[in-house]
């Protein structure tokens, strides 16, 4: 099988599977006469998606801004924390339990508290998105900064490199692939964080992200519209992931490029 | 000049403690090329790392040109040394040129004469100008190793430590790089300590061969062939006869 036909198959099979599931879903809903408030058919969801397109697009933009800002904040704070961790075992040992706390704390439980402290606003949404997406960045970047190839470390030691040179010229560039792994995980989490925070903030009527829209549609039992918002949420997560993947491909292009080297 | 005195080093704890260097004595005179030959795990690479000051011996001393070497502090002796690893150890985010300039960059010695030297070295190792802007992922194994050798020589080291640098290369390329290394080392009057498993390579490159066994130098063999050595030497009868002697000495360490 050629490369192009493999690529075509890789694209075709998921689309075919989706089509089969959608048809089965549609037939079952019609056949079993399931009310649309319980489970709308794919066509009803598609129709709601079209009807609400401008509301959803606006909501997606609001949520995307919050999730992306949260992701950037966690990339910056997470990387700085990881750099601090890489410089001292004492700091790492002292602070790591609190970083674990970030991972284990149920974000749904602290979101209302954050709203009390920070208010019903964009800043709170960003704060929740940042907190939920911080741990993968810290964990991955710390690992990248610390797991340096022994030969490369020795090369720098042979060159009498200072701690600063070691950090700037070796550890940080070597940790970039790990940062990208962290970003890939955190991209989805940031979207989840933003939507969860919007569930709480949304009720105030001062905010209109996807989470807010979903809460309102759920209250009015508009299930097709609710599921249309769900599709928009998924699209948002995929979009953010694609941006991170593109960033990764651009940054690592030179590291992994194979361009037919000359034979010896 | 490398001088190792009563080096002792063991790894592990309790019953798992394993002696790697055991009262090891070694002298390498200035400009001499000495190959370390011995079975796997006999301590060759560790000795090289102790000489480089990357690992601290439990007991004993290493002197480079009369200066005591310690892994616990950065010392002037490191300025005179270069290390070539088994892998090319190039930074994947730097081009060939940026990799070669790294040691001088770290030492703050990016002077015009050094830049000229780096250019000369890259040409000498057979990397074309168009290759200098390439990243390691765009190079073949042999080209990476050539860049690694150029980088090691870019600080004009008086001592060159090599840890099986050609182990992963095919015979033809290995032999080519042997000639290249020899030419550079002789031209720059480098003192060289060379770890290898390859007897022919050890004979071809060295003034003498130190056979290692169980953390000690069990035999010191002087190679009877004059420099410069030609590639034809490898297929001569004398070379084959001497190969047999070295092989026998190596065999004794395993018995």
DSSP state of B111: -
CATH of the domain at A186: 1.10.3720.10
Which residues of chain A are within 8 Å of residue B81 when distances are taken between CB atoms? 158
DSSP state of B4: E
CA gap A194, A179 in Å, rounded: 21
Q: What does the pLDDT look like over A130-177, one tens digit per residue? A: 999 999 999 999 999 999 999 999 999 988 899 999 999 999 999 999
Domain count, chain A: 1
Whether A92 maps to a domain, the answer reads yes
Are B187 and B153 in contact by the 8 Å Cβ rule? The answer is no
Whether A236 maps to a domain, the answer reads yes
The ipTM (two decimal places) reads: 0.89
Q: Do A160 and B79 touch (CB under 8 A)?
A: yes
Q: What does the pLDDT look like over B211-237, one tens digit per residue? A: 998 889 999 999 999 888 888 888 899
Q: Do B143 and A264 touch (CB under 8 A)?
A: yes
Which residues of chain B are within 8 Å of residue A254 when distances are taken between CB atoms? 92-93, 135, 137
Domain hosting A206: range is: 41-251
Q: Do B102 and A169 touch (CB under 8 A)?
A: yes
Q: Do B91 and A165 touch (CB under 8 A)?
A: no
pTM value is 0.84
CA gap A32, B149 in Å, rounded: 75
Whether A12 maps to a domain, the answer reads no
Q: What does the pLDDT look like over B152-166, one tens digit per residue? A: 999 989 999 999 988
Q: What is the pLDDT of residue B73?
A: 54
- Alpha-carbon torsion, ordered A241, A247, A248, A251, to 10 deg: 180
CA gap A20, B185 in Å, rounded: 70
pLDDT at A70 over 80: yes
Are B55 and B64 in contact by the 8 Å Cβ rule? The answer is no
Q: What is the pLDDT of residue A156?
A: 94
pLDDT at B255 over 70: no
Q: What does the pLDDT look like over B81-99, one tens digit per residue? A: 899 998 999 999 999 999 9
- Please report, in angstroms and rounded to a whole number, the separation of the first and last CA atoms in chain B: 33
Q: What is the pLDDT of residue A257?
A: 57
pLDDT at A258 over 70: no
Copy the structure tokens of residue B96.
Answer: 């060939």
Local structure of B194: helix, strand or coil:
strand
- Min CA distance, B145 vs chain A (Å)? 12
Q: Cβ of A72 under 8 Å from any chain B Cβ? A: no
Q: Do B85 and A149 touch (CB under 8 A)?
A: no
A181: alpha, beta or left, given left = phi > 0 and alpha = psi -120 to 50? alpha
How many beta-carbon contacts under 8 Å exist across A and B? 75
* Weakest mean pLDDT among A58-72, B6-20, B58-72, B154-168: B58-72
The band of B72, judged by pLDDT with boundaries at 50, 70 and 90, is: low
Which residues of chain B are within 8 Å of residue A161 when distances are taken between CB atoms? 106
Q: Please, what's the b/e burial string for A202-233 (b: 16 or more CB within 10 A of its CB; e: otherwise)?
A: beeeebbbbbbbbbbbeeeebbbbbbbbeebb
Beta-carbon contacts of A118 under 8 Å, excluding residues fewer than 6 positions away, are: A124, A127
Copy the structure tokens of residue A26.
Answer: 């549609």
pLDDT at A263 over 60: no
Beta-carbon contacts of A180 under 8 Å, excluding residues fewer than 6 positions away, are: A244, A247, A248, A251, A252
Whether A170 maps to a domain, the answer reads yes
Whether A260 maps to a domain, the answer reads no
Q: Do A151 and B89 touch (CB under 8 A)?
A: yes
Q: What does the pLDDT look like over A76-103, one tens digit per residue? A: 999 999 999 999 999 999 988 888 887 7
Whether A30 maps to a domain, the answer reads no
Chain B's closest residue to A159, CA to CA, is B103
DSSP state of B29: -
Q: What is the pLDDT of residue A261?
A: 38
Which residues of chain B are within 8 Å of residue A149 when distances are taken between CB atoms? 89
Whether A144 maps to a domain, the answer reads yes
Whether A228 maps to a domain, the answer reads yes
């Amino acid at each position: 099988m050629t490369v192009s036909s493999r690529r075509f198959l890789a694209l075709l099979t998921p689309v075919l599977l989706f089509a089969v599931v959608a048809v089965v879903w549609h037939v079952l809903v019609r056949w079993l006469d399931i009310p649309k408030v319980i489970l709308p058919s794919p066509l009803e969801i598609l129709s709601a998606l079209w009807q609400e397109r401008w509301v959803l697009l606006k909501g997606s933009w609001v949520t995307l801004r919050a999730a992306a800002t949260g992701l950037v904040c966690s990339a910056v704070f997470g990387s700085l924390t990881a750099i601090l961790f890489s410089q001292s075992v004492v700091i790492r040992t002292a602070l790591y339990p609190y970083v674990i706390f970030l991972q284990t704390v149920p974000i749904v439980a602290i979101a209302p508290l954050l709203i009390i402290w920070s208010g019903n606003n964009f800043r709170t949404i960003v704060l929740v998105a940042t907190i939920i997406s911080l741990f993968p960045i810290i964990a991955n970047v710390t690992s990248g900064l610390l797991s340096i190839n022994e030969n490369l470390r020795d090369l720098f030691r042979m060159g009498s490199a200072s701690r600063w040179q070691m950090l700037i010229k070796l550890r940080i560039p070597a940790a970039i692939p790990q940062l990208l792994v962290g970003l890939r995980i955190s991209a989805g989490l940031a979207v989840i964080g933003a939507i969860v925070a919007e569930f709480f903030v949304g009720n105030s009527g001062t905010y209109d992200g996807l989470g807010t829209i979903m809460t309102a549609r759920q209250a009015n039992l508009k299930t097709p519209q609710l599921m249309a918002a769900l599709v928009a949420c998924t699209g948002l997560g995929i979009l953010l992931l694609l941006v991170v993947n593109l960033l990764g491909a651009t940054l690592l292009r030179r590291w992994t490029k194979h361009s037919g080297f000359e034979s010896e | 000049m490398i001088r190792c005195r009563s080096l002792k080093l063991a790894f592990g704890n309790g019953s798992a403690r394993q002696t790697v260097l055991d009262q090891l004595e070694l002298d390498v005179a200035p400009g001499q090329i000495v190959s370390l030959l011995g079975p796997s795990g006999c301590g060759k690479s560790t000795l090289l790392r102790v000489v480089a000051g990357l690992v601290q011996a439990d007991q004993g001393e290493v002197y480079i040109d009369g200066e005591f070497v310690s892994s616990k502090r950065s010392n002037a002796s490191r300025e005179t040394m270069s290390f070539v690893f088994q892998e090319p150890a190039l930074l994947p985010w730097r081009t060939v040129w940026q990799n070669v300039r790294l040691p001088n960059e770290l030492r703050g010695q990016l002077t015009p004469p050094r830049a000229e030297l780096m250019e000369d070295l890259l040409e000498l190792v057979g990397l074309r100008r168009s290759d200098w802007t390439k990243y390691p992922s765009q190079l073949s194994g042999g080209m990476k190793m050539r860049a690694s050798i150029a980088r090691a020589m870019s600080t004009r080291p008086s001592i060159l430590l090599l840890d099986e640098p050609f182990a992963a290369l095919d015979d033809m390329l290995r032999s080519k790089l042997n000639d290249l290394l020899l030419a550079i080392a002789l031209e720059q009057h480098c003192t060289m300590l060379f770890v290898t498993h390859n007897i022919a390579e050890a004979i071809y490159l060295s003034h003498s061969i130190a056979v290692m066994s169980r953390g000690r130098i069990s035999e010191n063999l002087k190679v009877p062939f004059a420099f410069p050595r030609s590639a034809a030497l490898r297929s001569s009868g004398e070379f084959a006869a001497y190969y047999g002697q070295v092989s026998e000495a190596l065999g004794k360490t395993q018995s």
